[in-house]
Protein backbone atom coordinates (compact mmCIF):
# COMPACT_ATOMS: atom_id res chain seq x y z
CA UNK A 1 0.00 0.00 0.00
CA UNK A 2 2.79 2.45 0.88
CA UNK A 3 4.56 1.66 -2.37
CA UNK A 4 1.39 2.36 -4.37
CA UNK A 5 0.84 5.62 -2.47
CA UNK A 6 4.41 6.75 -3.19
CA UNK A 7 4.00 6.01 -6.89
CA UNK A 8 0.69 7.84 -7.06
CA UNK A 9 2.18 10.90 -5.37
CA UNK A 10 5.16 10.87 -7.75
CA UNK A 11 2.84 10.56 -10.72
CA UNK A 12 0.56 13.33 -9.53
CA UNK A 13 3.62 15.59 -9.26
CA UNK A 14 4.84 14.65 -12.75
CA UNK A 15 4.26 18.02 -14.43
CA UNK A 16 5.76 19.82 -11.45
CA UNK A 17 8.79 17.58 -11.46
CA UNK A 18 9.18 18.31 -15.15
CA UNK A 19 10.15 21.87 -14.29
CA UNK A 20 11.86 23.26 -11.21
CA UNK A 21 9.87 26.46 -11.52
CA UNK A 22 6.65 24.63 -10.84
CA UNK A 23 8.24 22.80 -7.93
CA UNK A 24 8.98 26.15 -6.34
CA UNK A 25 5.45 27.36 -6.90
CA UNK A 26 3.76 24.27 -5.58
CA UNK A 27 5.98 24.37 -2.52
CA UNK A 28 4.57 27.80 -1.70
CA UNK A 29 1.08 26.31 -1.46
CA UNK A 30 2.31 24.24 1.47
CA UNK A 31 4.25 27.06 3.07
CA UNK A 32 2.98 26.65 6.63
CA UNK A 33 4.14 23.02 6.89
CA UNK A 34 7.43 23.84 5.20
CA UNK A 35 8.17 26.58 7.74
CA UNK A 36 7.65 24.11 10.60
CA UNK A 37 9.78 21.37 9.03
CA UNK A 38 12.64 23.63 7.90
CA UNK A 39 15.35 24.00 10.49
CA UNK A 40 17.49 26.51 8.60
CA UNK A 41 17.36 28.84 5.61
CA UNK A 42 20.74 27.57 4.44
CA UNK A 43 22.61 24.32 4.01
CA UNK A 44 26.21 23.50 3.18
CA UNK A 45 28.59 20.59 2.90
CA UNK A 46 32.26 19.98 2.29
CA UNK A 47 33.32 16.95 0.27
CA UNK A 48 36.70 15.33 -0.19
CA UNK A 49 37.45 12.68 -2.80
CA UNK A 50 40.51 10.67 -3.76
CA UNK A 51 40.91 8.04 -6.42
CA UNK A 52 42.88 6.49 -9.23
CA UNK A 53 42.26 6.89 -12.96
CA UNK A 54 43.50 4.37 -15.53
CA UNK A 55 44.14 6.08 -18.87
CA UNK A 56 43.92 4.48 -22.32
CA UNK A 57 47.61 5.10 -22.99
CA UNK A 58 48.47 2.76 -20.11
CA UNK A 59 49.32 5.50 -17.61
CA UNK A 60 47.58 5.97 -14.29
CA UNK A 61 46.78 9.13 -12.38
CA UNK A 62 46.08 9.75 -8.70
CA UNK A 63 43.37 12.38 -8.37
CA UNK A 64 42.07 14.38 -5.42
CA UNK A 65 39.19 16.81 -5.11
CA UNK A 66 37.92 19.16 -2.40
CA UNK A 67 34.48 20.74 -2.84
CA UNK A 68 32.38 23.26 -0.93
CA UNK A 69 28.66 23.52 -1.71
CA UNK A 70 26.44 26.24 -0.20
CA UNK A 71 22.70 26.84 -0.65
CA UNK A 72 20.48 29.59 0.74
CA UNK A 73 16.70 29.92 0.39
CA UNK A 74 15.46 32.75 2.62
CA UNK A 75 12.39 34.93 2.92
CA UNK A 76 13.60 38.49 3.38
CA UNK A 77 10.17 40.18 3.54
CA UNK A 78 6.50 39.23 3.09
CA UNK A 79 6.21 37.90 -0.46
CA UNK A 80 9.96 38.21 -1.18
CA UNK A 81 12.50 35.36 -1.34
CA UNK A 82 16.26 35.15 -2.04
CA UNK A 83 17.80 31.98 -3.48
CA UNK A 84 21.54 31.41 -3.76
CA UNK A 85 23.47 28.22 -4.61
CA UNK A 86 27.21 27.99 -5.28
CA UNK A 87 29.82 25.25 -5.59
CA UNK A 88 33.62 25.49 -5.49
CA UNK A 89 35.70 22.53 -6.72
CA UNK A 90 39.48 22.24 -6.26
CA UNK A 91 41.31 19.47 -8.17
CA UNK A 92 44.77 17.90 -7.95
CA UNK A 93 46.08 15.23 -10.32
CA UNK A 94 49.53 13.84 -11.08
CA UNK A 95 49.18 12.62 -14.72
CA UNK A 96 49.52 15.11 -16.22
CA UNK A 97 50.55 17.08 -13.13
CA UNK A 98 47.89 19.71 -12.65
CA UNK A 99 46.16 21.77 -9.98
CA UNK A 100 43.12 23.87 -10.74
CA UNK A 101 39.86 25.13 -9.31
CA UNK A 102 36.49 26.11 -10.71
CA UNK A 103 33.55 27.90 -9.15
CA UNK A 104 30.00 27.26 -10.34
CA UNK A 105 27.36 29.87 -9.50
CA UNK A 106 24.38 27.55 -9.74
CA UNK A 107 21.63 29.98 -8.76
CA UNK A 108 21.27 33.56 -7.54
CA UNK A 109 17.81 35.08 -7.90
CA UNK A 110 15.14 37.17 -6.22
CA UNK A 111 11.58 35.84 -6.08
CA UNK A 112 8.37 37.82 -5.62
CA UNK A 113 4.99 36.26 -4.78
CA UNK A 114 2.65 38.89 -6.18
CA UNK A 115 -0.42 36.80 -5.28
CA UNK A 116 -1.05 33.30 -4.00
CA UNK A 117 -1.27 32.14 -7.63
CA UNK A 118 1.30 34.42 -9.27
CA UNK A 119 5.09 34.39 -8.86
CA UNK A 120 7.95 36.28 -10.51
CA UNK A 121 11.68 35.44 -10.33
CA UNK A 122 14.67 37.43 -11.61
CA UNK A 123 18.32 36.33 -11.70
CA UNK A 124 20.32 33.20 -12.43
CA UNK A 125 18.02 30.16 -12.29
CA UNK A 126 18.83 26.51 -12.97
CA UNK A 127 15.77 25.47 -15.01
CA UNK A 128 15.56 21.69 -15.51
CA UNK A 129 12.81 20.32 -17.74
CA UNK A 130 11.86 16.71 -18.42
CA UNK A 131 10.49 13.53 -16.85
CA UNK A 132 13.12 11.14 -18.24
CA UNK A 133 16.19 10.06 -16.27
CA UNK A 134 19.10 9.54 -18.65
CA UNK A 135 18.30 11.79 -21.63
CA UNK A 136 16.04 14.86 -21.51
CA UNK A 137 15.06 16.28 -24.93
CA UNK A 138 13.11 19.12 -23.27
CA UNK A 139 15.97 20.17 -20.97
CA UNK A 140 16.63 23.12 -23.25
CA UNK A 141 18.81 25.09 -20.81
CA UNK A 142 21.51 22.44 -20.33
CA UNK A 143 23.74 23.76 -23.14
CA UNK A 144 26.98 25.17 -21.71
CA UNK A 145 25.71 24.81 -18.15
CA UNK A 146 28.28 22.34 -16.73
CA UNK A 147 31.57 23.92 -15.64
CA UNK A 148 32.78 21.13 -13.37
CA UNK A 149 31.74 17.49 -13.88
CA UNK A 150 32.40 15.48 -10.73
CA UNK A 151 30.16 12.46 -11.45
CA UNK A 152 28.55 10.63 -14.37
CA UNK A 153 25.30 10.33 -12.40
CA UNK A 154 22.55 12.20 -14.34
CA UNK A 155 21.19 13.72 -11.12
CA UNK A 156 24.61 15.25 -10.36
CA UNK A 157 24.94 16.64 -13.88
CA UNK A 158 21.58 18.40 -13.62
CA UNK A 159 22.02 19.75 -10.10
CA UNK A 160 25.68 20.82 -10.17
CA UNK A 161 25.46 23.18 -13.11
CA UNK A 162 25.08 26.92 -13.55
CA UNK A 163 21.70 28.40 -14.29
CA UNK A 164 20.85 31.01 -16.91
CA UNK A 165 20.08 34.64 -16.18
CA UNK A 166 16.38 35.16 -16.84
CA UNK A 167 13.06 36.71 -15.90
CA UNK A 168 10.49 34.04 -15.05
CA UNK A 169 6.78 34.27 -14.29
CA UNK A 170 4.39 31.56 -13.11
CA UNK A 171 0.62 31.44 -12.82
CA UNK A 172 -1.12 28.61 -10.94
CA UNK A 173 -4.62 27.22 -10.70
CA UNK A 174 -6.09 24.15 -9.02
CA UNK A 175 -5.46 21.74 -11.91
CA UNK A 176 -2.48 23.22 -13.69
CA UNK A 177 -0.01 26.01 -14.31
CA UNK A 178 1.69 28.09 -16.97
CA UNK A 179 5.29 29.31 -16.85
CA UNK A 180 6.97 31.82 -19.13
CA UNK A 181 10.59 32.94 -19.09
CA UNK A 182 12.92 35.17 -21.08
CA UNK A 183 16.71 34.68 -21.01
CA UNK A 184 18.59 37.49 -22.85
CA UNK A 185 22.00 37.53 -24.47
CA UNK A 186 24.53 39.07 -22.08
CA UNK A 187 27.90 38.00 -23.54
CA UNK A 188 29.24 36.43 -26.72
CA UNK A 189 31.92 34.07 -25.41
CA UNK A 190 32.35 31.73 -22.48
CA UNK A 191 34.97 32.61 -19.85
CA UNK A 192 36.64 29.56 -18.23
CA UNK A 193 38.36 31.58 -15.49
CA UNK A 194 37.94 29.87 -12.12
CA UNK A 195 35.88 32.56 -10.38
CA UNK A 196 34.12 34.07 -13.39
CA UNK A 197 30.29 33.76 -13.36
CA UNK A 198 30.60 32.75 -17.03
CA UNK A 199 27.35 34.23 -18.30
CA UNK A 200 28.78 33.84 -21.80
CA UNK A 201 28.28 30.08 -21.52
CA UNK A 202 24.59 30.30 -20.65
CA UNK A 203 23.50 33.71 -21.96
CA UNK A 204 25.22 33.98 -25.33
CA UNK A 205 21.93 34.25 -27.25
CA UNK A 206 18.35 35.38 -26.66
CA UNK A 207 15.99 32.59 -25.56
CA UNK A 208 12.44 32.17 -24.28
CA UNK A 209 10.29 29.29 -23.05
CA UNK A 210 6.59 28.67 -22.37
CA UNK A 211 5.46 25.64 -20.35
CA UNK A 212 1.82 24.67 -19.78
CA UNK A 213 0.53 21.85 -17.54
CA UNK A 214 -3.07 20.78 -17.12
CA UNK A 215 -4.63 17.87 -15.25
CA UNK A 216 -7.03 16.19 -17.68
CA UNK A 217 -8.03 13.29 -15.43
CA UNK A 218 -6.77 11.34 -12.41
CA UNK A 219 -3.20 10.29 -13.14
CA UNK A 220 -3.09 12.12 -16.50
CA UNK A 221 -1.39 15.53 -16.33
CA UNK A 222 0.69 16.20 -19.45
CA UNK A 223 2.99 19.15 -19.96
CA UNK A 224 3.49 21.05 -23.22
CA UNK A 225 6.45 23.33 -23.94
CA UNK A 226 7.44 25.82 -26.62
CA UNK A 227 11.09 26.92 -26.79
CA UNK A 228 12.84 29.43 -29.04
CA UNK A 229 16.43 30.60 -29.23
CA UNK A 230 18.00 33.24 -31.42
CA UNK A 231 18.86 32.08 -34.92
CA UNK A 232 16.99 28.75 -34.73
CA UNK A 233 13.36 27.72 -35.32
CA UNK A 234 11.05 27.15 -32.36
CA UNK A 235 10.95 23.69 -30.75
CA UNK A 236 7.88 22.01 -29.25
CA UNK A 237 8.10 19.70 -26.24
CA UNK A 238 5.93 17.22 -24.37
CA UNK A 239 6.23 15.42 -21.00
CA UNK A 240 4.00 12.71 -19.55
CA UNK A 241 4.18 10.14 -16.73
CA UNK A 242 1.61 7.34 -16.34
CA UNK A 243 0.98 4.79 -13.61
CA UNK A 244 0.99 1.36 -15.30
CA UNK A 245 0.34 -0.68 -12.14
CA UNK A 246 1.08 -0.63 -8.42
CA UNK A 247 4.81 -0.97 -9.08
CA UNK A 248 5.47 0.62 -12.48
CA UNK A 249 5.47 4.14 -13.89
CA UNK A 250 5.93 4.86 -17.61
CA UNK A 251 7.32 8.13 -18.94
CA UNK A 252 7.55 9.81 -22.35
CA UNK A 253 9.53 12.94 -23.17
CA UNK A 254 9.61 14.39 -26.70
CA UNK A 255 10.94 17.47 -28.44
CA UNK A 256 10.65 18.28 -32.12
CA UNK A 257 10.96 21.04 -34.68
CA UNK A 258 13.05 22.26 -37.57
CA UNK A 259 16.72 22.46 -36.62
CA UNK A 260 20.20 21.76 -38.00
CA UNK A 261 21.93 18.54 -37.01
CA UNK A 262 24.61 18.61 -34.32
CA UNK A 263 27.23 17.89 -37.00
CA UNK A 264 26.04 20.91 -39.00
CA UNK A 265 26.37 23.11 -35.93
CA UNK A 266 29.92 21.82 -35.34
CA UNK A 267 31.01 22.33 -38.96
CA UNK A 268 28.96 25.47 -39.72
CA UNK A 269 26.88 24.06 -42.55
CA UNK A 270 23.12 24.22 -43.02
CA UNK A 271 21.05 21.03 -43.15
CA UNK A 272 17.96 22.33 -41.35
CA UNK A 273 15.08 19.84 -41.34
CA UNK A 274 12.37 18.65 -38.98
CA UNK A 275 14.00 16.50 -36.28
CA UNK A 276 12.61 14.53 -33.37
CA UNK A 277 14.19 13.75 -30.01
CA UNK A 278 12.58 11.17 -27.75
CA UNK A 279 13.13 9.44 -24.43
CA UNK A 280 10.67 6.77 -23.26
CA UNK A 281 10.92 4.25 -20.46
CA UNK A 282 9.62 2.43 -17.42
CA UNK A 283 10.49 2.60 -13.73
CA UNK A 284 9.73 -0.43 -11.56
CA UNK A 285 9.83 -0.07 -7.77
CA UNK A 286 9.81 -3.14 -5.53
CA UNK A 287 8.71 -3.36 -1.90
CA UNK A 288 12.39 -3.84 -0.97
CA UNK A 289 13.11 -0.21 -2.10
CA UNK A 290 14.75 -1.47 -5.28
CA UNK A 291 14.04 0.78 -8.26
CA UNK A 292 14.91 -0.05 -11.88
CA UNK A 293 14.60 2.41 -14.78
CA UNK A 294 14.96 1.31 -18.41
CA UNK A 295 14.94 3.98 -21.10
CA UNK A 296 15.05 4.02 -24.91
CA UNK A 297 16.60 7.21 -26.31
CA UNK A 298 16.49 8.76 -29.79
CA UNK A 299 18.29 11.85 -31.09
CA UNK A 300 17.18 12.79 -34.59
CA UNK A 301 19.92 15.44 -34.75
CA UNK A 302 22.68 12.83 -34.32
CA UNK A 303 24.61 11.00 -37.02
CA UNK A 304 23.36 7.81 -38.65
CA UNK A 305 25.27 4.63 -37.80
CA UNK A 306 27.21 4.60 -41.09
CA UNK A 307 28.06 8.32 -40.84
CA UNK A 308 29.34 7.94 -37.28
CA UNK A 309 31.45 4.92 -38.23
CA UNK A 310 33.06 6.62 -41.25
CA UNK A 311 33.65 10.09 -39.75
CA UNK A 312 36.92 9.52 -37.79
CA UNK A 313 38.50 7.83 -40.83
CA UNK A 314 37.36 10.27 -43.51
CA UNK A 315 37.37 13.56 -41.58
CA UNK A 316 39.29 13.37 -38.29
CA UNK A 317 39.22 17.15 -37.75
CA UNK A 318 35.44 17.24 -38.21
CA UNK A 319 35.19 14.28 -35.84
CA UNK A 320 37.07 16.24 -33.15
CA UNK A 321 34.90 19.33 -33.68
CA UNK A 322 31.78 17.18 -33.50
CA UNK A 323 32.75 15.67 -30.17
CA UNK A 324 33.53 19.13 -28.76
CA UNK A 325 30.11 20.40 -29.83
CA UNK A 326 28.42 17.33 -28.34
CA UNK A 327 30.05 18.02 -24.99
CA UNK A 328 28.70 21.58 -24.93
CA UNK A 329 25.20 20.50 -25.97
CA UNK A 330 25.23 17.35 -23.78
CA UNK A 331 23.78 15.43 -26.73
CA UNK A 332 24.15 11.87 -28.01
CA UNK A 333 26.46 11.52 -31.06
CA UNK A 334 24.26 8.93 -32.79
CA UNK A 335 20.53 8.35 -33.23
CA UNK A 336 19.79 5.50 -30.81
CA UNK A 337 20.86 4.57 -27.30
CA UNK A 338 19.54 2.65 -24.29
CA UNK A 339 19.89 3.53 -20.64
CA UNK A 340 19.61 1.54 -17.42
CA UNK A 341 19.58 2.92 -13.88
CA UNK A 342 19.21 0.82 -10.73
CA UNK A 343 18.86 2.24 -7.23
CA UNK A 344 18.48 0.21 -4.03
CA UNK A 345 17.91 2.09 -0.78
CA UNK A 346 18.80 0.38 2.51
CA UNK A 347 20.43 -2.39 0.52
CA UNK A 348 21.63 -5.32 2.66
CA UNK A 349 21.88 -3.03 5.72
CA UNK A 350 20.15 0.18 6.80
CA UNK A 351 21.53 3.47 5.49
CA UNK A 352 23.44 1.77 2.64
CA UNK A 353 22.37 2.78 -0.86
CA UNK A 354 23.59 1.01 -4.01
CA UNK A 355 23.30 2.71 -7.42
CA UNK A 356 24.27 1.48 -10.87
CA UNK A 357 24.03 2.96 -14.36
CA UNK A 358 24.75 1.81 -17.91
CA UNK A 359 24.65 3.95 -21.07
CA UNK A 360 24.83 1.82 -24.22
CA UNK A 361 25.30 3.28 -27.70
CA UNK A 362 23.46 1.03 -30.19
CA UNK A 363 25.48 2.30 -33.17
CA UNK A 364 29.02 1.48 -32.02
CA UNK A 365 28.22 -0.85 -29.06
CA UNK A 366 30.27 1.26 -26.64
CA UNK A 367 29.21 1.60 -23.01
CA UNK A 368 29.60 3.74 -19.93
CA UNK A 369 29.18 1.72 -16.72
CA UNK A 370 28.99 3.36 -13.30
CA UNK A 371 28.55 1.94 -9.79
CA UNK A 372 28.22 3.60 -6.40
CA UNK A 373 27.88 2.40 -2.80
CA UNK A 374 26.88 5.20 -0.40
CA UNK A 375 26.50 4.93 3.39
CA UNK A 376 24.59 7.64 5.24
CA UNK A 377 25.61 8.80 8.71
CA UNK A 378 23.83 11.44 10.77
CA UNK A 379 25.90 14.34 9.42
CA UNK A 380 28.00 12.68 6.73
CA UNK A 381 27.99 10.42 3.66
CA UNK A 382 30.70 7.91 2.76
CA UNK A 383 30.82 6.62 -0.82
CA UNK A 384 32.82 4.46 -3.19
CA UNK A 385 32.39 4.96 -6.95
CA UNK A 386 33.62 3.00 -9.98
CA UNK A 387 33.37 3.90 -13.67
CA UNK A 388 34.33 2.08 -16.88
CA UNK A 389 34.33 3.46 -20.45
CA UNK A 390 34.44 0.57 -22.92
CA UNK A 391 34.38 0.40 -26.72
CA UNK A 392 36.49 0.66 -29.86
CA UNK A 393 38.98 3.57 -30.15
CA UNK A 394 36.68 6.02 -31.98
CA UNK A 395 33.38 5.00 -30.40
CA UNK A 396 31.39 7.31 -28.10
CA UNK A 397 32.84 5.95 -24.85
CA UNK A 398 35.88 4.11 -26.20
CA UNK A 399 37.44 7.40 -27.33
CA UNK A 400 37.45 8.83 -23.81
CA UNK A 401 40.95 9.28 -22.45
CA UNK A 402 39.82 7.78 -19.16
CA UNK A 403 39.32 4.02 -19.40
CA UNK A 404 38.54 3.18 -15.79
CA UNK A 405 38.34 5.11 -12.52
CA UNK A 406 37.68 4.42 -8.87
CA UNK A 407 37.30 6.96 -6.09
CA UNK A 408 36.32 7.18 -2.44
CA UNK A 409 34.64 10.26 -1.06
CA UNK A 410 33.38 11.68 2.21
CA UNK A 411 30.76 14.42 2.49
CA UNK A 412 30.25 16.33 5.73
CA UNK A 413 27.13 18.45 6.26
CA UNK A 414 27.11 21.67 8.28
How far, in Å, CA of 106 to CA of 108, rounded?
Answer: 7
Three-state DSSP state, 31: helix
Q: Which of 91-100, 167-176, 300-309 has the lowest mean pLDDT?
A: 91-100
CA angle 268, 270, 273 (to 5 degrees): 140
Task: Name the residue range of residue 174's domain.
Answer: 2-413
**Number of domains making up the chain:** 1
Burial class (CB in 10 A: 0-12, 13-18, 19+), 261: buried
How far, in Å, CA of 43 to CA of 39, rounded?
Answer: 10
pLDDT of residue 319: 96
How far, in Å, CA of 14 to CA of 220, rounded?
Answer: 9
Count of other CB atoms within 10 angstroms of residue 257: 17
With cut-offs at 50, 70 and 90, classify the pLDDT of residue 191: very high
- Segment 178-205 mean pLDDT: 96
pLDDT of residue 414: 94
pLDDT of residue 211: 98
What backbone torsions phi and psi does residue 374 show, to the nearest 5 degrees?
-130, 125
pLDDT: which is higher, 4 or 226: 226
- Segment 329-340 mean pLDDT: 97
Residue 359 in contact with residue 368, Cβ under 8 Å? yes
How far, in Å, CA of 189 to CA of 65, rounded?
Answer: 28
Name the DSSP letter for residue 218: T
| Rg over CA atoms, the chain | 21
pLDDT surpassing 70 at residue 21: no
CA 70 to chain centre: 19
How far, in Å, CA of 119 to CA of 173, rounded?
Answer: 12
With cut-offs at 50, 70 and 90, classify the pLDDT of residue 39: low
Closest CA to 168 of 87, 221, 107: 107
pLDDT of residue 82: 98
Residues near 62 by beta carbon (within 8 Å), at least 6 away in sequence: 50, 51, 52, 53, 93, 94, 95
pLDDT of residue 219: 78
What backbone torsions phi and psi does residue 159 show, to the nearest 5 degrees?
-80, -40
pLDDT surpassing 90 at residue 36: no
Q: What is the CATH number of the domain that holds 111?
A: 2.40.160
CA angle 335, 337, 338 (to 5 degrees): 155
| b (16+ CB within 10 A) / e for 332-346 | bbbbbbbbbbbbbbe
Residue 399, Ramachandran bin (φ over 0: left; ψ between -120 and 50: alpha; else beta) = alpha
CA 242 to chain centre: 21
How far, in Å, CA of 85 to CA of 73, rounded?
Answer: 9
- Interval 193-241: pLDDT, tens: 999 999 999 999 999 999 999 998 887 889 999 999 999 999 999 999 9
Amino acid sequence: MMRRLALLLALAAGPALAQDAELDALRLADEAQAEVARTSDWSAFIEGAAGRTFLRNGATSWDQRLSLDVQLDKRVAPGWRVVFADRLDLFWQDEPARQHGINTLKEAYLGWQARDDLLVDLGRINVRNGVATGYNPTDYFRTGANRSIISADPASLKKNRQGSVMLRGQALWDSGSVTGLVSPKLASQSNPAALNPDVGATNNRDRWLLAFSQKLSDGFSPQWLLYKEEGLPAQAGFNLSLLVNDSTVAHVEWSGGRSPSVFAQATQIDDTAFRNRLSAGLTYTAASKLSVTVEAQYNGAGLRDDEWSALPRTAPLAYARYRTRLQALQEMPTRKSVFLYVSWQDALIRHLDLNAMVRHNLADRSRLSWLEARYHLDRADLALQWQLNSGTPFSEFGAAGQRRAIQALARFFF
